[in-house]
Amino acid sequence: MIETFINIILFAMLVLTALAIVRIDQLFGVVMLSGVFSLLSALLFVTLDAVDVAFTEAAVGAGISTVLMLGTIALTARTQKKATRSGFVPFIVVAVTGAALVYGTLDMPSFGDPNAPAQLHVGPEYLAGSITDIDVPNVVTSILASYRGYDTLGETAVVFTAGIGVLVLLSGLARRRREDEEEEDA
């Protein structure tokens, strides 16, 4: 009962934050509210039993992502121009997409159903195997690093590639331009 109550409060705050982000023109406020959104979603992850995910979301979404976005608006612009287009066509697009997604959920098992297909296969085997094969109490760690080690290797490679991409876009070009100028001076 108390869990449902907490969920409803968190949802209400998430929706309010999202609507405020739609309306506000000051980008500083938008970035701060997106940090708030991340923190609220981290709370929701805790009520959904995903403590590892909540931890990551709180550190990444509310921490690093806010810093990077503030850095970006410091380098670009502080406000957005007033919207000139009407919001009607986007609203239709969003409503149709949302209706299609809701239609898709109608066949899904109920929230928290222990007999849902997602709960019957693979998951229980990992839960049991984590005791016998790996002997690690945190099942999330044992799946992340051992059962699904290939996945995580791929994800690490993606993080690596994105980092290289940012370096090429921002620092690499600056250095090349500086070298060009030095050549012109010489």
Partner 1 sequence: MHHHHIILRVVTKMLVGTIILFAFYVQFHGDFSPGGGFQAGVIMAVAFILYGIVFGLNKAKQVFPAWVVHKLVALGVLVYAGTGVASMLLGYNYLDYGAFNPHHPSHGQHWGILAVELGVGITVTGVMVAIYYAFAGRPPPMKDEDW
Partner 2 sequence: MINVDFIIGHMNYWLFIVLMMTGLYIVVARGNLVKKIVGLNIFQTSVFMFYISIGKVTGGTAPIYPVDSQGHIQVDPSLTYSNPLPHVLILTAIVVGIATTSLALALIIRIREEYDTIEEDDILKIERELSAQDSKAHGSAMGGRA
DSSP strand E in 57-131: where? none
> Coil, helix or strand for 76?
coil
Task: List residues bridging with 134 in a β-sheet.
Answer: none
Interface with partner 1 in residues 114-133 (CB under 8 A): 133
Among the candidate windows 62-70, 81-89, 93-101, 110-118, which touches partner 1 by CB under 8 A?
Answer: 62-70
Is 184 a binding residue for partner 2 by CB under 8 A? The answer is no
CB of 157 to partner 1, least distance (A): 6
Binder of residue 103, out of partner 2, partner 1, none (CB less than 5 to 8 A by kind): none
Closest C-alpha among 150, 154, 26, 19 to residue 87: 19
Query: Minimum distance from CB of 83 to partner 2 (Å)?
Result: 7
Q: What is the spatial distance between Cα 152 and Cα 22, in angstroms, rounded to a whole number?
A: 35
Closest separation between CB of residue 184 and partner 2, Å?
Answer: 19
Please classify residue 142 by burial: count the beta carbons closer than 10 Å to its beta carbon, then call 0-12 exposed, 13-18 middle and 19+ buried: buried
How far is the CA of 164 from the CAs of 10, 141, 159, 171, in angstroms?
A: 37, 27, 9, 10
Nearer to partner 2, 77 or 186 (CB): 77
Residue numbers at the binding site for partner 1 (CB under 8 A):
51-52, 54-56, 59-60, 63-64, 67-68, 71-72, 74-76, 78, 133-138, 140-142, 144-146, 149-150, 152-153, 156-157, 159-160, 162-164, 166-167, 169-171, 174
